[in-house]
Amino acid sequence: MVENRPLGNLVAHLILILGVALVLFPVYVAIVASTQGPGEFLRGTLPLVPGSHALENYRAMWEAGLSRAGAPPAGQMLWNSLVMALAITFGKLSISLLSAFAIVYFRFPFRLFFFWIIFITLMLPVEVRIIPTFRVVADLGMLNSFAGLSIPLIASATATFLFRQFFMTIPEELLEAARVDGAGPLKFFKDILLPLSITNIAALFVIMFIYGWNQYLWPLLITTDPDYYTIVMGLQRMTTAADGDPQWHLVMAAVVMAALPPVLVILFMQRLFVKGLTETEK
Amino acid sequence: MARIKLEGLKKTYAGGVQAVKGIDLEVADGEFVVLVGPSGCGKSTLLRMVAGLETISEGRLEIGDRVVNDLEPAERDIAMVFQNYALYPHMTVFDNLAYGLKNRGFKRDEIERRVQEAARMLEIEEFLPRKPRKLSGGQRQRVAMGRALVREPAAFLFDEPLSNLDAKLRVQMRVEIKQLQRRLKTTSLYVTHDQLEAMTLGDRLVVLNGGRIEQVGTPMEIYARPASIFVATFIGSPAMNLIPLDYLRERGNGLLDDLPEGTDIVGIRPDDLHMQAPSGPHLVVESKLELFEAAGAESHLYVRLAGSEQPTVIRTAGQPPVSEGETLRFHVRREALHPFNHESNKRMGG
Ligand SMILES: Nc1ncnc2c1ncn2[C@@H]1O[C@H](COP(=O)(O)OP(=O)(O)O)[C@@H](O)[C@H]1O
Ligand SMILES: [Mg+2]
């Protein structure tokens, strides 16, 4: 539709601008709040112009954290989150790529059965199986460890399913040509399947990373040692400070830092999968 | 360089479909053999068994001097060209050609040399740095050929490599494949459903029907002496006319008395019905012209034989001065009659 109706255009844009504002306003507030001094919030109104304490707030959070609220330095927590999110992302991607590869390209007994088993686990996200999973992790002595934080979240039916669907669209002749060219199964996987899946991998990387980064309940449950606190659960600790009001200016600095890595991942990966999307063709 | 020998090859698919029902065939070293037959007759299955992409249910397959029944495709020293080309979309043309060599552990400069040579032969040098998606159908076809060439295999296997091209390109590539094969003298097995492609390409044709061989022979042998009604109607275009012997016998003149025992159907090629009476013994049939089709250098006349309504096609050179609805007389020489038996489907009299 190439129509030019000024009024329609105006209304459409107003609606869009309103939508954007709705989403961005809280972000703006968080950023502004993180630049205020300690006294600012006691006045009861939300400041809307940036203050002058940005640097000291961020440095305080990064280096010291809120010890009174039992939160370690944000730098430490960000690092923990990063390790957990990356472990989950890479774990999920490699396991789901391999299992989709097995399901699509190998004929083994009960193939369909296994596929359905994997598929059914879609119905069992961590939150549903959290008590038994906690039990298992505790018995294995993995509380307060990166392994405990990430391994139980690694299995991914969604990614397996998506890769399976994608692999099935790859013409069978490609496999046959590779076989004639002397490529065994693993070579085919590495030289042909992986490069062809790169767009899908990039997209799933973003989704999985954000999923891992945003984990809240699980880290809250299995970490009691501040050395393993993640930033998202750390935020919660800070806001429920035992004595007195939360120090909002510092909490907001942590919030902004917590929101940053997913944004960076999206910006970085976007180039990859937009490129992939526009270039895909059989 | 190698011969290929098929002994009693059979293929039964998992679902119980018997696609290949016992094939014996020997392809000589350097020979170009074309497997031709209608869609679903088992051509691809047979070729893929030779390639090692389908298991062999029964029988023996030799390539060179080895029995290769249980070898992987890569170990059989063959190269295959697929109908949809099956180029690796994420690799450049160069890497597509080089991949098989890399996997076999060739040295870098040897790979470079072979790829360049194949690219020169196929005139795709300028495309080497490109990805396949930036190529036209014909160019992709060449790359697919190149991928087979660089390997310098004992045999080429082609599965309908031209059927995705437009008509003009198809003819051009057909000629090039033929010339290339002549030059390289690599044993080749080529599958097609197009009888014209088969006739023009093959040193020998193998006509398949329902998983069995109907006839093996040079294109001219098969055209001149089709061994069955199936082959007679499959090879040659327009297809051979089949006329009941009784009808012709009524038209008499004793010419048909020496046809072999058992003949009840007579085949006549559309080119063998002439408007001018030839010298020597011949048959005359009357017919009514239903449709006239001018195709440039030749014309097709669709007629019904007088007194039988039997539809019949005649091919003549140029454009004869005829009009639809007219009654025409055609002359057929005795030698142009192909004797068949409709029950056994076979040619009579060997
Ligand atoms: N993977 C398969 N499983 C079961 N039946 C098959 C398979 N591939 C081919 N067939 C059947 O085998 C017969 C021959 O197929 P194919 O060799 O592809 O024929 P063509 O190449 O001559 O057209 C067909 O009836 C087809 O349906
Ligand atoms: Mg086929």
CATH for B92: 3.40.50.300
* Percent above pLDDT 70 for chain B: 99
Cβ–Cβ below 8 Å for A183 and B89: no
Specify the range with the lowest mean pLDDT, choosing from A90-94, A119-123, B157-161: A119-123
* Percent above pLDDT 70 for chain A: 92
B100 with B119, same domain: the answer is yes
B212 with B243, same domain: the answer is no
Highest-confidence range of A229-238, B3-12, B270-279, by mean pLDDT?
A: B3-12
B225 with B246, same domain: the answer is no
Cβ–Cβ below 8 Å for A181 and B74: yes
Highest-confidence range of A41-45, A237-241, B316-320, by mean pLDDT?
A: B316-320
Q: Which amino acid is at B95?
A: D
Strand arrangement, sheet containing B265-268: B241-244, B265-268, B338-340
Residue of B nearest to A194 (CA): B90
Q: Which atom of ligand 1 is nearest to the CA of B43?
A: 22
- Which residue of B71, B84, B157 is the best one to mutate when testing the A interface, meaning the one whose CB has the most A CBs within 10 A? B84
With 60 as the cut, is the pLDDT of residue A175 above it?
A: yes
**pLDDT for A79-115, tens place per residue?**
999 999 999 999 999 999 999 999 999 988 998 898 8
Element of type H or E holding B120: helix B108-122
B147 with B245, same domain: the answer is no
Exposure of B179 in the CB half-sphere (CA atoms within 13 A): 8
Q: Does B72 touch chain A (CB under 8 A)?
A: yes
Closest Cβ–Cβ partner in A179, A182, A281 for B133? A281
Determine the distance in angstroms separating the CA of A166 from the nearest CA of chain B, rounded to an integer. Answer: 15
With 80 as the cut, is the pLDDT of residue A71 above it?
A: no
**pLDDT for B241-289, tens place per residue?**
999 998 888 876 678 888 899 999 999 999 999 999 888 888 899 999 9
pLDDT value at residue B1? 65
**Partner A, chain B 86-115, Cβ-Cβ below 8 Å:** 86-90, 99-100, 103-104
User: For residue B300, what are the β-bridge partners?
Assistant: B293, B315
pLDDT value at residue A155? 82
Q: Confirm if B269 and B225 have CB atoms less than 8 A apart.
A: no
Q: Which of A99-110 are b and which e, b meaning 16 or more Cβ less than 10 Å from the residue's Cβ?
A: bbbbbbeeeeee
Total-model pTM: 0.86
Residue A23 belongs to a domain: no
Number of other CB atoms surrounding residue A23 within 10 Å: 8
Domain extent at residue A98:
76-240+259-278
Determine the distance in angstroms separating the CA of B53 from the nearest CA of chain A, rounded to an integer. Answer: 7
**Phi, psi (deg, nearest 5) at residue B96:** -60, -45
Residue A189 belongs to a domain: yes
Q: How far apart are CA A277 and CA A271, in angstroms?
A: 10
pLDDT value at residue A282? 39
Domain extent at residue B281:
238-340
pLDDT value at residue A137? 93
CATH number at residue B248: 2.40.50.140
Element of type H or E holding A16: helix A6-33
pLDDT value at residue A270? 81
Q: Which amino acid is at B269?
A: R
Residue B346 belongs to a domain: no
Q: How far apart are CA B340 and CA B348, in angstroms?
A: 5
Cβ–Cβ below 8 Å for A195 and B90: yes
Q: What is the mean pLDDT of residues A25-53?
A: 82
pLDDT value at residue B308? 85
DSSP state of A66: B
Q: What is the mean pLDDT of residues A234-244?
A: 74
With 90 as the cut, is the pLDDT of residue A59 above it?
A: no
Q: Which residue has the tokens 């990430």?
A: A150
Element of type H or E holding B147: helix B137-149
Specify the range with the lowest mean pLDDT, choosing from A145-159, A265-279, B96-110, B112-126: A265-279
CB < 8 Å to B92, chain A: none
Report the number of distinct structural domains present in chain A. 1
pLDDT value at residue A122? 81
SS3 B206: strand
- Burial label for A222, CB within 10 Å (0-12, 13-18, 19+), is buried
Determine the distance in angstroms separating the CA of A193 from the nearest CA of chain B, rounded to an integer. Answer: 10
Q: How far apart are CA B289 and CA B130, in angstroms?
A: 56
Q: The tokens of B94 are what?
A: 């160069």
With 70 as the cut, is the pLDDT of residue A242 above it?
A: no
**CA-closest residue to ligand 1 atom 8:** B45
Number of other CB atoms surrounding residue A278 within 10 Å: 9
Pairs of CB atoms within 8 A across A/B: 61
What distances in angstroms separate CA A96 from CA A204, B189, B341, one per listed residue? 11, 40, 62
Closest Cβ–Cβ partner in A179, A191, A196 for B74? A179
Q: How far apart are CA B160 and CA B144, in angstroms?
A: 12
pLDDT value at residue A243? 62
**pLDDT for B49-97, tens place per residue?**
999 999 999 999 999 999 999 999 999 999 999 999 999 999 999 999 9
User: Among B233, B250, B265, where does a domain finish?
Assistant: B233
SS3 B189: strand
With 60 as the cut, is the pLDDT of residue A280 above it?
A: no
Closest Cβ–Cβ partner in A176, A182, A192 for B88? A192
Residue A43 belongs to a domain: no
Residue of A nearest to B85 (CA): A173
Q: How far apart are CA A251 and CA A237, in angstroms?
A: 10
Q: How far apart are CA B182 and CA A186, in angstroms?
A: 37
Indicate the average pLDDT of chain B: 94
Cβ–Cβ below 8 Å for A171 and B86: yes
Residue A92 belongs to a domain: yes
At B4, the pLDDT band (50, 70, 90 cuts) reads very high
Number of other CB atoms surrounding residue B112 within 10 Å: 14
CB < 8 Å to A182, chain B: 74, 100, 103-104
Residue A138 belongs to a domain: yes
Q: What is the mean pLDDT of residues A59-68?
A: 79
Report the number of distinct structural domains present in chain B. 2
User: Among B233, B253, B279, where does a domain finish?
Assistant: B233
Residue of B nearest to A282 (CA): B89
Instruction: Say how many Å lie between the CA of residue B314 and the centre of ligand 1.
Output: 35
pLDDT value at residue B267? 95
pLDDT value at residue A276? 58
CATH number at residue A122: 1.10.3720.10
Q: Which residue has the tokens 């774990």?
A: A91
User: Do strands B212-217 and B78-81 pair parallel, antiparallel, or not at all (unpaired)?
Assistant: unpaired
Predicted complex ipTM: 0.89
User: Among B210, B233, B256, where does a domain finish?
Assistant: B233
Residue B268 belongs to a domain: yes
Element of type H or E holding B286: strand B282-295
Of A71 and B192, the structure prediction assigns the larger pLDDT to B192
Q: How far apart are CA B284 and CA B319, in angstroms?
A: 21
User: Do strands B4-12 and B58-63 pair parallel, antiparallel, or not at all (unpaired)?
Assistant: antiparallel
At A121, the pLDDT band (50, 70, 90 cuts) reads confident
A208 closest CA partner among A122, A113, A87, A47: A87
pLDDT value at residue A86? 96
**pLDDT for B286-315, tens place per residue?**
999 999 999 889 999 999 998 888 899 999
Q: What is the mean pLDDT of residues B186-211?
A: 96
Residue B116 belongs to a domain: yes
B14 with B139, same domain: the answer is yes
- Which residue of B49, B63, B82 is the best one to mutate when testing the A interface, meaning the one whose CB has the most A CBs within 10 A? B82
Q: How far apart are CA A21 and CA A175, in angstroms?
A: 50
B89 with B145, same domain: the answer is yes
